[in-house]
Amino acid sequence: MPISTQSELARHAKASQDIIPIEEIRDGVVVMRDGSLRAVLMASSLNFALKAPDEQDAIIMQYQSFLNSLDFSVQISIQSRKLNIEPYLATLRERKKAETQELLRVQITEYITFIKDFVDTSNIVSKVFYVVVPFSPMAAALKNKQGMLDAIKNIFKKRDINKPLIDTENFAEYRTQLWQRIDTVTAGLIRSGVRAVPLNTEELIELYYGLYNPEGAEHGKAPQISGIIEKQ
């Protein structure tokens, strides 16, 4: 069997854009290459084990009711990432530079060393919870006869690569329908004791960049939303 050289493998290697199924991200919506849309909600955590038995039963019943009320699928994703304390350490170093008392400067230095060694030896990870809400214009169109004919025409219609996959008018309509689903999911999670908010465009880009570049993400940070992540 012939052995492929590194140069031959490089010629046949696909570009990242060919592998990632995302067409674009705009207005807080992920547009997939098949024309479907995705919205991503960041959800708060819930310390279920510390709840009383009656509270646990109530949460389970509310969550079950929430799932049964949905007429569309959702995806729940948990992202674990090694805790990055560099932004916090950078703040401490700036505080040390501004400190005029030598004793406090020494204490800050010792504290920085303690925190850094503790995190390095303990391998602390942070967990972030996401709920992905989809919307497929194709599936919605197939619910009526005329929409089915239009959908079939669009499949065989040659696309102009210089134009967006979804035009502005249709995108606004699809986004409205997607946001109706988001409202349903958010309300259902709130009844279960979990709060959730949709990520904006910048946060979505950062999230997906971290997913496809995990090594680089270790040196960055996950999208943070004020007030959404708190101890229960």
Q: Which of 60, 95, 123 delimits the end of a domain? A: 123
- Residue 182's pLDDT band, with cuts at 50, 70 and 90, is very high
Beta-carbon-side half-sphere exposure of residue 206 (alpha carbons within 13 Å):
13
Structure confidence by residue, pLDDT tens digits, 6-29: 555 455 555 556 678 888 899 999
Are 58 and 167 contained in the same domain?
A: yes
Mean pLDDT computed over 205-220: 73
The answer to whether position 224 is within a domain reads: no
| Residue 113 lies inside a defined structural domain of this protein | yes
Distance CA(30)–CA(134), nearest Å, equals 9
Q: Does residue 197 lie in a domain region?
A: yes
What pLDDT sits at residue 218? 55
Are both 35 and 138 inside the same structural domain? yes
**Is 205 found in the same domain as 150?**
yes
- pLDDT above 70: residue 198: yes
* Residue 204 located in a structural domain: yes
- Helix segments in 13-52, DSSP class H: 16-19
Whether residue 8 is contained in a domain is answered as no
The CA distances from residue 2 to 9, 14, 18, in Å, are 13, 21, 27
The answer to whether position 181 is within a domain reads: yes
Q: What mean pLDDT do residues 188-208 have?
A: 91
Number of domains in the chain: 2
Looking at the fold, whether 139 and 154 belong to one and the same domain comes out as yes
pLDDT confidence of residue 18 = 66
Give me the count of residues in the chain: 232
pLDDT attached to residue 29: 93
Do 75 and 89 sit in the same domain of this protein?
A: no
Residues 6+ apart with CB under 8 A from 129: 42, 43, 44, 45, 76, 77, 78, 79
| DSSP one-letter string for 184-196 | HHHHHHHHTT--E
pTM above 0.85, yes or no: no
More confident residue, 159 or 169: 169
**Among the listed residues 217, 209, 226, the one whose alpha carbon sits nearest the alpha carbon of residue 20:** 209
Within a domain: residue 27? Answer: yes
Q: 94 and 208 in one domain? A: no
159 and 194 housed in the same domain: yes
Same domain, 114 and 171: no
Q: What is the extent of the structural domain holding 168?
A: 17-81+129-217
Place of tokens 């492929």: 4
Out of 70, 95, 123, a domain closes at 123
Q: What is the mean pLDDT of residues 198-222?
A: 76
Residue 207 has a CB neighbour count (10 Å cut-off) of 22
The answer on 164 and 109 residing in a single domain is no
Look at residue 231 in the predicted model and tell me its pLDDT: 35
Q: pLDDT by residue (tens digit) across 88-142? A: 888 999 988 988 888 998 999 999 999 888 887 877 777 889 999 999 887 655 5
Answer yes or no: do 71 and 45 share one domain.
Answer: yes
